[in-house]
């Protein structure tokens, strides 16, 4: 499994989400038909900081050996984030199939990353796949 490619892709996806939540929280709330108020805008900006920090973590470790016992905390953190996110998004989609197509796309991306990081977490790395 090419961990460099997965880490780079995860860094780009979470980086884009981080920038969007940090600088466009009102627009994101409007897209989801939610009322933009002060505390919710602040919460989304803090969420943006969290996403961007994850992006930086993934970007900085993309060339490291990841899998098995190597960089285990990074693999576990990514797997946990994407797995719980995928489950929450799938629950939302199953309970409300009329959600916008963007939410469906995010759910698919999260599921792909959850599977990828689950495999990285469970398998020992090979040098040729880094």
Render the burial of 26-36: b for 16+ CB within 10 Å, e for the rest: eebbeeeeeee
pLDDT at 78: 96
In a domain, 130, yes or no: no
| String of DSSP letters for 88-111 | HHHHHHHH-TTS-HHHHHHHHHHH
In a domain, 26, yes or no: yes
Cβ–Cβ under 8 Å, residues 49 and 12: no
Tokens coding 69: 């016992």
For the whole prediction, is pTM greater than 0.85? yes
pLDDT at 93: 95
Tokens coding 94: 């199953």
In a domain, 101, yes or no: yes
3-state secondary structure of 63: coil
Query: pLDDT means per 10 residues in the chain (130 residues)?
Result: 92 97 92 84 96 97 87 94 97 91 94 96 71
State the residue range of the domain holding 79: 3-125
Total tally of structural domains belonging to the chain: 1
């Amino acid at each position: 499994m090419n961990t460099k490619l997965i880490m780079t892709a995860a860094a780009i996806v979470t980086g884009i989400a981080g920038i969007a939540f940090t600088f466009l929280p009102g627009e994101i709330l409007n897209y989801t038909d939610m009322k933009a108020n002060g505390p919710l805008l602040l919460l989304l900006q803090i969420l943006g900081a969290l996403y961007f920090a994850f992006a930086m973590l993934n970007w900085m470790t993309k060339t490291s050996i990841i899998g098995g016992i190597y960089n285990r905390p990074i693999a576990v953190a990514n797997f946990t984030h994407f797995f719980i996110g995928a489950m929450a998004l799938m629950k939302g989609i199953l309970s409300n199939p009329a959600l916008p197509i963007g939410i469906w796309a995010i759910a698919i991306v999260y599921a792909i990353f959850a599977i990828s990081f689950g495999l990285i977490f469970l398998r020992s790395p090979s040098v040729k796949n880094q």
